[in-house]
Every structure is written in C-alpha cells, then in structure tokens.
C-alpha cells in the first residue's frame, strides 16, 4: 500500500494504538516533510516518507532491519531473566513494532547482532540450510597453539552432536587470541569447541555475518543502525 492515513502510518511504525497516534496528530506533535499536520485521516505516500514525531525524525519503513554492536551483559531474549535485554538499547517505537534478535549471542558475547520485525527474514537468516559463515574472535585462557588450530579445523566432537564439528577456517591472531569462522549455529558452539580441543574461551566477539563486517558499520558498542539493501546483500556473501 503506497498511500495510507497518517494515523495508520504512525501505528504501523510503533507509535502506539490507533487512538494514541490520532491524539499525537491532533495535538500538533507530528510533522510531514517539515510541515505540521493535524488531520489524522490525511492520506500520505509511504515510499520515502519522512516525518517527525515529538521533534524526532523518522523514515517510513514497512519492515526494519537493524545491526547492533552488542555489549557484554545483555540477553537476546524478548523476556530476559538474569540480565538486561538487548531490546532495551532500541527506541520505544522499534520495540513496539515487534523487533526481535535474529538468532542469539550469549549474554557475555559481544559484537554483531541482527534484529528485525520481518518474520520471513528472521526465519531465512536462522535456517540451518543457509550455512551463512559467521566470524568470531575468541580470547583463550591458554596460548593458541598450532595443535589447537589443527583440531578446530579437523573437527571436534561435542557430547550432544552426532558428528564432529569443524571450523570453516581458524587462525591464530595473537598469543591468546584466534579468529574462527563457523557456518553452524549450535548452542555455545565456539566455547564448547574450544573446551573440546583442550582450551577455554574467556571472551568472544562476533565480527561478521557473511560479508557484513561490524567494523565497516562504525558502530560504537551499544549502538545500532538501519541496514539498507546493500548491507543486507552482504549477509549472503562470505
């Protein structure tokens, strides 16, 4: 739908119930293309629509696709139990439209996390069939040895997996740091693989998904950004 009543636009973008959105407009809190609009029923073109609510600028998006530089100490669940949730790092309007994490990072794992309100996108990104490579940097308790790297590349057996799990690539970066690329998404996989290979992970950071690299997004820790078509296309590339 390319034309929509302004109150429905606000409701679709997470600004409250239809009644709440109507009141925002009637009270003069909404501007479209820089002009104040006080008619909730006025029809507006949604493609490339820019508007302001309570002085904050927004662009209409049918769905949102976000990247977050996740800090340590946050849970990815919509109902966190022991730590704050990552959704608390987003504006109220994004949370209200049902944004959720695409897959999960442990509460103590940092780095690149995707979020969206597009169910089809979330399903596609988390499907094991896609085998999108994910790049991590792990800090280890003991020094990274050639034997450790070789074991991770050859595959290690985890107690609840029928077959050994191997890294797509693995390389020593520093004395106690290695880069590892996985295409699976098993529970605590990097930590468990390191433990099975005889070491221990003391810190873990995801730095890329497919061809989308966190450093290219220039996101400070705890910050987020919208992903456009060019960034989304990188998710399918190694």
Strand ranges in 107-168 using DSSP code E only, listed in sequence order: 110-116, 134-140
Question: Are 105 and 70 spatial neighbours (Cβ–Cβ below 8 Å)?
Answer: yes
- 106 carries an active-site annotation: yes
SS3 string, 34-95, reads: CEECCCCCCEEECCCCEEEECCEEEECCCCCEEEEEECCCCECCCCCCCCCEHHHHCCHHHH
The length of the chain, given as a count of residues: 238
Out of 38, 39, 48, 106, pick the active-site residue.
106
The count of C-alpha atoms lying within 13 angstroms of the C-alpha of 35, restricted to the half-sphere facing its C-beta, is 6
Decide if 151 contacts 194 (C-beta within 8 A).
Answer: no
H/E stretch holding 179: strand 177-182
Q: Are 21 and 11 in contact (CB under 8 A)?
A: yes
Q: Phi-psi bin for 89: left (phi > 0), alpha (psi -120 to 50), beta?
A: alpha
Instruction: Report the catalytic residues.
Output: 106
């Amino acid at each position: 739908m390319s034309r929509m009543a302004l109150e429905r636009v606000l409701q679709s973008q997470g600004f409250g119930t239809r009644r709440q959105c109507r009141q925002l407009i009637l009270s003069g809190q909404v501007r479209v293309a820089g002009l104040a609009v006080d008619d909730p029923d006025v029809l507006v073109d949604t493609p490339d629509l820019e508007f302001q609510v309570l002085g904050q600028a927004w662009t209409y998006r049918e769905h949102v696709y976000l990247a977050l530089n996740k800090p340590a100490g946050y849970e990815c669940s919509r109902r966190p139990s022991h730590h704050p949730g990552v959704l608390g790092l987003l504006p109220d309007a994004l949370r209200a439209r049902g944004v959720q994490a695409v897959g999960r990072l442990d509460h103590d794992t940092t780095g690149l996390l995707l979020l969206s309100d597009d169910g089809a996108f979330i399903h596609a990104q988390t499907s094991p069939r896609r085998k999108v490579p994910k790049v991590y940097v792990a800090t280890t308790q003991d020094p990274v040895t050639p034997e450790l790297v070789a074991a991770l590349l050859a595959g290690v057996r985890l107690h609840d997996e029928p077959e050994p799990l191997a890294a797509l690539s693995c390389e020593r970066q520093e004395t106690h740091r290695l880069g590892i690329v996985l295409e699976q998404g098993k529970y605590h996989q990097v930590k468990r693989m390191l433990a099975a290979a005889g070491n221990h992970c003391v810190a873990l950071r995801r730095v890329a998904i497919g061809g989308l690299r966190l450093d290219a997004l220039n996101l400070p820790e705890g910050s987020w950004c919208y992903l456009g078509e060019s960034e989304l296309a990188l998710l399918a590339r190694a």
